[in-house]
Amino acid sequence: NAGVTQTPKFRVLKTGQSMTLLCAQDMNHEYMYWYRQDPGMGLRLIHYSVGEGTTAKGEVPDGYNVSRLKKQNFLLGLESAAPSQTSVYFCASSYESTGGKLAGFYEQYFGPGTRLTVT
Amino acid sequence: GNSVTQMEGPVTLSEEAFLTINCTYTATGYPSLFWYVQYPGEGLQLLLKATKADDKGSNKGFEATYRKETTSFHLEKGSVQVSDSAVYFCALRVAKTSYDKVIFGPGTSLSVIP
């Protein structure tokens, strides 16, 4: 079980370049998320998905696009990178138990992060 | 709206000292509360959680009690180790609402020195 993996681990872009970050999970989770982490600001939600084929905007979606064509993958795209997008990006997935003794049990699993620098 | 406030860091302690990291929240509804830990160069890991008032979450010697009357979820450990050096995030989630997502505090950096 690899959990949540992210590709690449590091990337340097020039302003205006594009790139795609890949997140993959092997836990069959329905929900997936993209966050960015900046000093003193904690984690901020960029986009999320509640299932294959669905996406929704989070707190800071501008400048990013996402796709969830397969349940196990969640892609984050930057069409025209800007220095303000220099950050560490984390992907996460989660499940929520809906029945039995663990009804309502919720847990979120994070990937190791991608450090992106835009010059 | 929903929000989480944490004490500002960085916090520096000597090994075996007592740790408290304060966390207070604002939420509509009945949130679940979490503490996550991020070790250097890694992603966040769930440390402990509590889902209703007066619940105590505990793990690896850390504890936090869900206090509804003071809207707090302070993290404590009786004797810290160098290996506890990390960034700690308090978080909440209000399920089945229009904003059914986890909201994180800004994080508190802890350094434990030998």
Q: What pLDDT score was predicted for residue A102?
A: 52
Pairwise CB contact (< 8 Å): A40 & B45: no
Pairwise CB contact (< 8 Å): B43 & A112: yes
- Tell me if chain B has a CB within 8 Å of the CB of A45: yes
Pairwise CB contact (< 8 Å): B43 & A110: yes
Q: What average pLDDT does this structure show over A17-36?
A: 94
Q: What average pLDDT does this structure show over B90-106?
A: 76
The CA distances from residue A38 to A43, A49, B113, in Å, are 7, 22, 25
Contact, B61 vs B53, CB < 8 A?
A: no
pLDDT at B95 over 80: no
Q: What average pLDDT does this structure show over A82-97?
A: 90
Buried b (16+ CB within 10 A) or exposed e, B60-85: eebbbbbbeeebbbbbebeebeeebb
User: How far, rounded to the nearest angstrom, does the alpha carbon of residue B30 sit from its chain's CA centroid?
Assistant: 17
Q: Which residues of B touch A113 (CB under 8 A)?
A: 42-43
Determine which helix (DSSP H) or strand (DSSP E) holds B38, and give its type and residue range.
Answer: strand B32-38
Q: What pLDDT score was predicted for residue B64?
A: 98
Q: What percent of chain A has pLDDT over 70?
A: 92
Q: What pLDDT score was predicted for residue B99?
A: 47
At A39, which amino acid appears?
P
Q: What pLDDT score was predicted for residue A40?
A: 76
Q: Which residues of A touch B95 (CB under 8 A)?
A: 96, 104, 106
Mean of all residue pLDDT scores within chain A: 90
Q: Cα–Cα distance between A106 and A97 in angstroms, integer?
A: 7
Sorting pLDDT into bands at 50, 70 and 90, what band is B98? very low
Total residue count of chain A as it appears in this document: 119
pLDDT at B13 over 70: yes
Per the structure block, which two tokens stand in for B60? 């690896």
Pairwise CB contact (< 8 Å): A41 & B105: no
pLDDT of A30-67, one tens digit each?
889 999 999 877 889 999 998 899 999 998 999 999 99
- Tell me if chain A has a CB within 8 Å of the CB of B10: no
Pairwise CB contact (< 8 Å): B42 & A42: no
Pairwise CB contact (< 8 Å): B101 & A48: yes
Q: Which residues of A touch B93 (CB under 8 A)?
A: 106
- Tell me if chain A has a CB within 8 Å of the CB of B81: no
Q: Which of B92, B101, B103 to mutate to test the interface with A (most CBs of A within 10 A)?
A: B101
